[in-house]
């Protein structure tokens, strides 16, 4: 089984390359077949995600931890009392020996539950390129309990307009490299936003389903 090991000597090239801009890649324009079954990937014990994270964040102004060589998470000083700031890196091995690197970052003010924002890059031989369209973006109907569509028809119809406009804002991902990720509905950006919301509307917005997508070395395929 092929092992994916990050080339340590290439880190300086990453830092230099990132200062000069990044190539934009849209997966929708690539000739990639992601309909193949998910593959089993043997992962080395080299802390890939931690090494990439530290090279892309050379200031070291954070506290980090990891229980998976392909994942690394840290917290920052948010700069305000009662606030929270954190970032995660997750690395999925690509068939060409590189990695898909996913960043999940969040900032929340006092009393808020902040939404995550996501960034994605390919990384190989010291070069990183921004890639878009690779994280799944399921339709709202797939994330809600079908029984609610009749019970909360109006509330869901209103929410669907917001979801369809910016779906990523209402999606919560959980990453499990190198095998998979899951996604569920997360419609709140702050407790104050929904503290006074009617119970029926609050219930209709709650996510009821968790969708799982398998990584096959090229893309994510719904299980």
Per-residue pLDDT of 135-193, as tens digits, reads 999 998 888 877 766 777 777 777 788 889 888 888 889 999 999 999 988 765 444 44
Residues with Cβ within 8 Å of 157's Cβ and at least 6 positions away in sequence, in order, are: none
Residue 39 has pLDDT above 60, yes or no: no
Could you please report the per-residue DSSP string of 18-41? HHT---EEEGGGS-----SPP---
pLDDT on residue 119: 94
User: How many residues comprise the chain?
Assistant: 223
Higher pLDDT among residues 156 and 133, named by residue: 133
Burial class (CB in 10 A: 0-12, 13-18, 19+), 179: middle
Residue 34 has pLDDT above 50, yes or no: no
Q: Estimate the share of the chain in helix, then strand, then coil, as percent rounded to the nearest 5.
A: 25, 35, 40
CB 86 within 8 A of CB 77: no
- Report the alpha-carbon distance of residue 157 to residue 31 in Å, rounded: 36
Higher pLDDT among residues 27 and 141, named by residue: 141
| Rounded percentage of the chain residues whose pLDDT exceeds 90 | 34
Torsion, Cα 180 172 103 83, to 10 degrees, reads -140
Residue 27 has pLDDT above 60, yes or no: no
DSSP annotation of 10: G
Confidence class of residue 71 from pLDDT cuts 50, 70 and 90? Answer: very high
């Amino acid at each position: 089984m092929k092992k994916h090991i990050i080339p340590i000597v290439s880190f300086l090239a990453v830092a230099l390359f990132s200062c000069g801009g990044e190539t934009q890649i849209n997966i929708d324009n690539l000739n990639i077949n992601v309909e193949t079954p998910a593959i089993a990937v043997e992962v080395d014990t080299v802390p890939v995600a931690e090494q990439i994270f530290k090279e892309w964040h050379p200031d070291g102004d954070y506290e980090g931890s990891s229980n998976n060589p392909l994942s690394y998470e840290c917290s920052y000083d948010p700069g305000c009392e009662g606030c929270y700031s954190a970032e995660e890196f997750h690395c999925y091995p690509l068939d060409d020996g590189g990695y898909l690197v996913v960043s999940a970052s969040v900032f929340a003010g006092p009393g808020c539950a902040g939404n995550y924002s996501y960034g994605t890059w390919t990384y190989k031989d010291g070069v990183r390129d921004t890639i878009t369209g690779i994280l799944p973006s399921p339709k709202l109907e797939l994330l809600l309990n079908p029984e609610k569509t009749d019970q909360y028809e109006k509330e869901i119809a209103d929410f669907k307009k917001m979801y369809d406009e910016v779906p990523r804002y209402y999606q919560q991902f959980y990453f499990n490299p190198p095998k998979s990720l899951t996604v569920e509905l997360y419609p709140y950006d702050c407790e104050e936003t929904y503290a006074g919301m009617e119970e029926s509307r609050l219930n209709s917005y709650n996510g009821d389903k968790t969708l799982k997508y398998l990584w096959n070395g090229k893309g994510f395929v719904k299980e």
